[in-house]
């Protein structure tokens, strides 16, 4: 079995994370200006925050645990 490789660089992850937060702020400002801040905050904000967390590398973090276990078991070439 070979080590996994990732095509997404850290710079790309930070860029997509930054853009996601910009979108959240823009949507929040729009909701406040339209008088829908409470409805927006209760539904959209938690969903968007979890999506941003996912794009920051939750998968990458736990994927590295797989690599650690594989190297301990001698499964890597």
Q: Span 7-25, mean pLDDT? A: 83
* Residues ≥6 apart with Cβ < 8 Å to 45: 24, 28
Tell whether the model's pLDDT for residue 28 goes beyond 90.
no
Q: What percent of the chain has pLDDT over 70?
A: 70
- Segment 66-73 long-range contacts (CB within 8 Å, at least 24 positions apart): 67/3, 67/4, 70/1
pLDDT of residue 1: 56
Instruction: Give the pLDDT confidence of 32-52 residue by residue, as tens digits.
Output: 999 988 888 888 878 878 877
């Amino acid at each position: 079995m070979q080590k996994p490789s990732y095509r997404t660089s850290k710079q790309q992850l930070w860029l997509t994370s930054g853009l996601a937060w910009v979108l959240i702020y823009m949507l929040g400002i729009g909701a406040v200006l339209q008088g829908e801040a409470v409805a927006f905050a209760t539904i959209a904000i938690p969903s968007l925050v979890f999506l941003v967390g996912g794009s920051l590398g939750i998968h990458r973090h736990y994927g590295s645990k797989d690599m650690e276990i594989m190297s301990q078991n001698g499964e890597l070439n």
